[in-house]
Structure 1
Amino acid sequence: METFRQGDKDVRWYVMADDDTVLMVDSLVEVLAKYDHTKSYYVGSNSESVKSNFDFSFDMAFGGAGYDLSYPLAEALSTKLDGCLLSAHPQTPFLSLHHIDTIDPIFPSMDRSESINRLMKAVKIDQFCLLQQIICYHRQSNWSLSISWGYSAYIYENIIPRSI
């Protein structure tokens, strides 16, 4: 966000990658050209490490290989980043789960026992961030930004929960 805050107005994309990453610039430019840089986009890919994908989810772009933010998304996040990322918030650890035998499974595609076993695998990895979620709103665009476990980010093109 420091780069965005420098005030360059002719920027279309912010490309972030670790210092040990090699970028294929021509390919990157070709891929980004497929997106409308005047709209909010987060573009990235899974890690080349199967273990990292397994540990952090196969469904999201993350890590040192890099990701790209369009100018409007960087602009929207620039004033909210410190206030909405999980790492910037005091964490309220998940301490207990009452009536586990009567609630619906946490993972809907599993039965209760399988769901509890899956949850306990996550507990072994990082119980202090387990079930943590922060939701921020960008009211001008009517968007919600959900950040879970400190690295999983989703943008919803509506306010969640919807205002009544």
Structure 2
Amino acid sequence: MYYVGAASESVEQDEKHSYGMAYGGGGFAVSYPAAAALAGGIDGCLRRYDRLYGSDQRVHACFSEIGVPLTREPGFHQVDLRGDIYGLLAAHPIAPLLSLHHLDYVPPISPLFHSQLQALRSLINATRADQPRALQQSFCYLHERRLNWSISVSWGYTAQIYPWLLSPKELEVPIRTFRTWKTSDIRHFTFNTRELAVPSRPCERPLRYFLEAVEERREGTVTEYRRHGWGDEGKERCGKLGFEAMGAVKKVRVTASRMDPMLWRKAPRRQCCGAKKNDKNIIDVHVRDCRPGEITSPI
């Protein structure tokens, strides 16, 4: 019997309600045997727990009586967050994207659009071309002409370019562009975060690009990402060599074969990629299955 879902992203919510509960806004799934066991005693269980706040708490309490624990699936997102959730979406776990809740409480997920609905349509259009790959993150490195760049792609959503080398261990950690749900705290999340440098330190910030176009081809997809700032830039500009070269890059173009949905039935692994800079100041990235024995390393 399985009870599958995810907890809140904010520690304060989990401490108040439960770390072991599937939060209802993000959604949850139950196996047929679990649903049958739940249905057999649901009326009495609901009466016993009528004091609880929401239906997700009551379902959790009923499963506790049955003895079925939560199986955590990181693709469910309660989005108990305030502010820009860009950092969360740009570093999605290696898991299928299943849900996004509370999107009416946060700004549009892409600054290329004026409304959340328009921004979500952009993401959904990409997922129609390759649903299993939505938001899947890949890392690659560009070493040429005295350049040492780190590139992160969250497929169907965004790309980031760093004019320095960052390890996968660092790149997989979300940039903290958001706050907790109730208290707007910047520390207490149920996952690690990393700081975005303040606007007065532009040389310590990556450039970011957002999905602009999706093209389906017989062998896969081509997605293009257009550069957009962080929205809080000041007058300071970074004059370092790597940044000046990076500033000329207006687009990132990503090619990928369609992801086999059956891969999610296996132990998950991040896909690999390669990158090169063409003469039109476009970074071309090719996302692919990792070769046997292949690792992703900046060195």
| TM value normalised by structure 2 | 0.20
> Looking at both structures, which has the greater relative contact order when contacts are Cα pairs under 8 Å and sequence separation is at least 6?
1
Structure number with greater Rg is 2
